[in-house]
Structure 1
């Protein structure tokens, strides 16, 4: 059974090297676990969608909750799915510094990434739009 999980967290270390280390680890670990997804990072905040088998996604989310590189981990949305939305991605990355702020403003009160202030449905819609506008890099 396939599931999709959407969560937000705050980075403990916001240095480019620390963020790149998280992405590198995801890209190395996820294919073997059947995990696909996309990671959006900006202003010290992660917004990540992960997809895969229920056990694999649950295990990964548990690991993220215990990972000292993340704090304020919050589940935004969880659902059973019939097909993957991010099937071609081991872990795509959104570079918010290159995003037109009007896209962010479309989904929130301010032109900044803040999944804590909006619903999981709104956060997922933002990820969908970022995919549609080719704002995601790092395809598998």
Structure 2
């Protein structure tokens, strides 16, 4: 059974580009083995990630994230059973917010700033779908 999980968390320390690159590299190496696909967005010390795959694999990954000392304030934004993956093309794609029209963020948020703690899970899911359609994803 396939599921899609979306969560947000705050980084416990300043995450630099090298840290983010290491996270993406590790995800891209391990996700195919576990059958996980998805997208990662990082901005202003906040992560938003979508994971898709088998229920056991996705749940185990989320548990590791919740227990990871590099994350705090982890919140579950959405969890659903799915018939097919929306992000099957990415072992872990990266959202590039610089490629987005700022009006897209304003469409879903109060201030035009990506803050998953003030946006509903449904709105975040819709935003991620529009990010893909807008070509704001760095593939891999």
Instruction: Provide TM-score, normalisation by structure 2.
Output: 0.95
Q: Residue 30 of structure 2 corresponds to which residue in structure 1? A: 29
The answer for unaligned runs of 5 or more in structure 2 is none
1:101-120 mapped onto 2 (5 Å cutoff): 101-120=102-121
**1:123 has 2:120 as partner:** no
Residue 98 of structure 1, CA deviation? 3.3
112-121 or 8-17, which deviates more: 8-17
Instruction: Provide TM-score, normalisation by structure 1.
Output: 0.95
Runs of 4+ in 1 over 3 A off after TM superposition: none
Q: Deviations over 1:96-122 (max 9, x none)?
A: 233221111110011111011011000
Name the CA distance, whole Å, in 1 between partners of 2:21 and 2:68. Answer: 15
Contact 1:42–1:97 (CA under 8 A) maintained in structure 2: no
What is the RMSD of the two structures over their aligned residues, measured on CA atoms?
1.0
**1:9 has 2:41 as partner:** no
Contact 2:27–2:91 (CA under 8 A) maintained in structure 1: yes
Structure 1 counterpart SS, 2:135? coil
Residue 25 of structure 1, CA deviation? 1.2
Residue 81 of structure 1, CA deviation? 0.3
Structure 1 pair 47/16, CA: closer, same or farther in 2 (3 Å)?
Answer: same
1:22-61 mapped onto 2 (5 Å cutoff): 22-61=23-62
Aligned pairs, number: 139
**1:64 has 2:65 as partner:** yes
Structure 2 counterpart SS, 1:109? coil
